Structure 1
Amino acid sequence: MARFLGGALLVLVAILAILLTWPQLVDLQNQWVFAHVVALRGIAAVCGLGAALVVAAFLPIRRLRAFTAGLAGILVVFAAANAGVLTVRGLGGSDAAPDGSITVLSWNTLGEVPGAEGIAALALEQGADVVVLPETTEETSVEIAVAMREAGRPMWVHHQKFDDIAKARSTTLLISPELGVYDVVNADVPGPPGNTSTLPSVVAVPVDGVGPTIVAVHAVAPIRWEFRNWRADLDWTADQCASGNVIMAGDFNATLDHFAGRGVDGGDLGICRDAALAAGAAGLGTWPTRLPEFLGSPIDHVLATPEWHVDSFEVLDGLDDAGSDHRPVVARLSPVG
């Protein structure tokens, strides 16, 4: 009986390990617990390996040997599988790009903690044509644009805010005049279909109809009381990439695992492809900065429709002490054909 119960328990543990590693098998990737485990695959791998070592300490006990060996084996496979997913998605990236590409920079500034001067300096260093700044107020955005203009790289400022309760309720989008004149077309009140549910996003379209729609995203985090809004935000972002010529970037508070089921026609989210995945860097964590990239969560993204080729993508780790809890990401995209 003890052997039967031990075997049954191992089967249950193995099933749970499979579901925690790849919850999209049964559409659990957007559910409580499962969503959080796959968001932090690096930590899951380390915890799985650590637990396996603890269990292995009981191997000398003969009566428990078969059970502990099986349990330790499951935990090792769980750790290896999560580490493998990150490795396959990419732990590298590239900063090379041909002339004529568009540079998209995204940085959740944690309420503009790095300051206008620091943000402008990064945008200038990267030669950004599009800058997406969740949690950045309009006042600071104007300061950034002025600093960039004085450095010879002017930018148009586009902004949405839901209220003045917190800087997180503001999102800024800067666009180079070289890309044309843009207008913000989405509603400035919370909730689909006009905007994300809790934190604002910006949808800007070219006035002359030539060029991509540019979407600056800030989805709410999947904390327990925001889960319904989080899922609605991911659906909203997928809708922005349902068709047309689109470049979308920002803090999605979601990884590729959470995008599962929302891609169409080979896209990762709608018809949009994830630039990090295309460039071999989708395993690098962008949040929080206090953790190494392998242990962090890759929740900041740049995506684009098939009109764009991903030339490069980088997670910038040189600003981990700048004050934000997010790392900036930068992608370079070239028009196809």
Structure 2
Amino acid sequence: MEELSVPGPRGAGLGILGSMVIAEETRSRRKYPLVTALLVVAVVPLALLAALRLVGFDGGWYTLVALSLTPYAAAAGLLVGGLSLALRRWWTGGVALVLALALAVLVLPRASASEQRDVHGKTLRVLASNLLYGRADPKAVVDLVREQRIDVLNLVEMTPAAVSRLTAAGLFDLLPHRVLHPAPGAFGSGIVSRFPLKEVNLTGDSAAKQPGAEADLGDGVVAEIVAVHPISPDVDSRGWEREIKDLSQPAGEHGLRILAGDFNATLDHAAYRTVLARGYRDAAEERGEGLTPTWPSSLPVVTIDHVAVDNRAAVLDYRVFDVTDSDHRAVFAEVRLP
């Protein structure tokens, strides 16, 4: 068979250029092998993370932590790729940039607001706050409720002592209706509302109570609310996956459902994306705030607190707020129902 070749001097020039590039990279590797090794060592975990994220595999505690840092990995990949190219490690740099760009395609849309449904029903202002074993400043919580004109407040890590302090601070004067399940440590949760509540079971069993309630907004409109707090994956990663996927039961026949609280998950975890795929949208992502971190509040790094909204509704606003003496930032969403 006749060998195919690029005709003319242009093809020969490209071949010579390719040979020069390969030869130059080979010389650089031989001259500075430690530099090459360090760059390759940096690319390997990036490749593993990209594979986990693209395949949709959460794995155990260590891979869950790594996945939560996906936005930072994308940025680091760009730096490693650029540095590799500057040092004439063409293959290493090319692989790093391809991986970084693949992750960036998944991450960057979170910084852009999405067009919302044209709906004209009632508006609901929802706030969710982790009280850090009940230690959060009750006045800070009540002030947020008052200033942001909150209709529904979800509280997790709510202890009996925290309920007493919130009562003294006047929370139940502002939001008189409640479904409370206080418990020691991180296991208590509750829903407090301006509207009448009827407790209903909207999730599976979980280590910490994840209460659900129907909020009667009047005129026959009902919103289903869930205070979300699956077990932390550092305690039981399999239990975390089961409990968070239990949240993905289909929305009720009559009410539109809103899930709000500490999910112990980011948008890069397959378990949370499974929840969203069942008929919800992440309020932060909808408003272009999906990269705004919520934990730890002293130096926020990852976004594990969310408001997930029934996709038949529109997200009008989303913000995060610091809460004194809590390690989580509170998350707020204004939702308009159809």
Which category of TM-score, normalised to the shorter sequence, fits these structures?
0.7 to 0.9
Identity of aligned residues (%): 28
How many residues were matched structurally? 298
Which residue identity does 1:279 align to in structure 2? Answer: R
1:281-332 CA-partner distances (Å, limit 9, x unpaired): 112111122335xxx211111112234221111123xx27x22221111000
Matched with 2:188 is 170
Alignment partners' CA distance in 2, 1:133 and 1:115: 13
Alignment partners' CA distance in 1, 2:189 and 2:272: 27
Alignment partners' CA distance in 2, 1:44 and 1:183: 42
Which residue identity does 1:275 align to in structure 2? Answer: A
- Please report how far the alpha carbon of residue 278 of structure 1 lies from its aligned counterpart in structure 2 after TM superposition: 1.5
Alignment partners' CA distance in 2, 1:146 and 1:269: 41
1:235-246 correspondence runs (5 A): 235-239=245-249, 241=251, 245=255, 246=257
Choose from 20, 23, 31 the match for 2:52: 23
Alignment partners' CA distance in 2, 1:261 and 1:140: 29
Which residue identity does 2:91 align to in structure 1? Answer: G
Contact 2:135 2:162 in 1 (8 A): no
Alignment partners' CA distance in 2, 1:34 and 1:242: 33
1:52-67 correspondence runs (5 A): 59=87, 65=88
Matched with 2:315 is 310
- Please report how far the alpha carbon of residue 256 of structure 1 lies from its aligned counterpart in structure 2 after TM superposition: 2.0
Q: Report the 3-state secondary structure (helix = DSSP H, G, I; strand = E; otherwise coil) of the residue aligned with 2:130.
A: coil
- Please report how far the alpha carbon of residue 83 of structure 1 lies from its aligned counterpart in structure 2 after TM superposition: 4.9
1:1-337 correspondence runs (5 A): 17-21=46-50, 23-48=52-77, 51=80, 59=87, 65=88, 68-83=89-104, 85-90=106-111, 100-145=122-167, 147-148=169-170, 153-161=174-182, 163-164=183-184, 166=185, 168-176=186-194, 179-185=195-201, 193=204, 195-196=205-206, 198-206=207-215, 210-223=221-234, 225-239=235-249, 241=251, 245=255, 246-259=257-270, 263=274, 268-292=276-300, 296-316=301-321, 319=322, 322-336=324-338
Deviates more, 1:133-142 or 1:205-214: 205-214
Alignment partners' CA distance in 2, 1:109 and 1:91: 30
CA RMSD in angstroms comes to: 3.8
Cα 1:326–1:182 change in 2 (3 A) is same
Q: Report the 3-state secondary structure (helix = DSSP H, G, I; strand = E; otherwise coil) of the residue aligned with 1:21.
A: helix
Which residue identity does 2:197 align to in structure 1? Answer: V
Which residue identity does 2:227 align to in structure 1? Answer: A
Cα 1:306–1:123 change in 2 (3 A) is same
Contact 2:112 2:287 in 1 (8 A): no
- Please report how far the alpha carbon of residue 138 of structure 1 lies from its aligned counterpart in structure 2 after TM superposition: 3.8
Contact 1:242 1:270 in 2 (8 A): no
Q: Report the 3-state secondary structure (helix = DSSP H, G, I; strand = E; otherwise coil) of the residue aligned with 2:125.
A: strand
Alignment partners' CA distance in 1, 2:71 and 2:272: 23
- Tell me which structure has the larger Cα radius of gyration: 2
1:106-147 CA-partner distances (Å, limit 9, x unpaired): 111212333211111111111111111111224423543553
Alignment partners' CA distance in 1, 2:293 and 2:267: 12
Cα 1:206–1:49 change in 2 (3 A) is closer
- Please report how far the alpha carbon of residue 53 of structure 1 lies from its aligned counterpart in structure 2 after TM superposition: 7.2
Cα 1:173–1:257 change in 2 (3 A) is same
Q: Report the 3-state secondary structure (helix = DSSP H, G, I; strand = E; otherwise coil) of the residue aligned with 1:302.
A: strand
TM-score, with structure 1 as normaliser = 0.73
Cα 1:279–1:309 change in 2 (3 A) is same
- Please report how far the alpha carbon of residue 255 of structure 1 lies from its aligned counterpart in structure 2 after TM superposition: 1.5
Which residue identity does 1:274 align to in structure 2? Answer: D
> Structure 2: where are the runs of 5+ without partners?
1-25, 30-36, 115-119
Cα 1:206–1:146 change in 2 (3 A) is same
Alignment partners' CA distance in 1, 2:94 and 2:62: 23
Which residue identity does 2:238 align to in structure 1? Answer: R
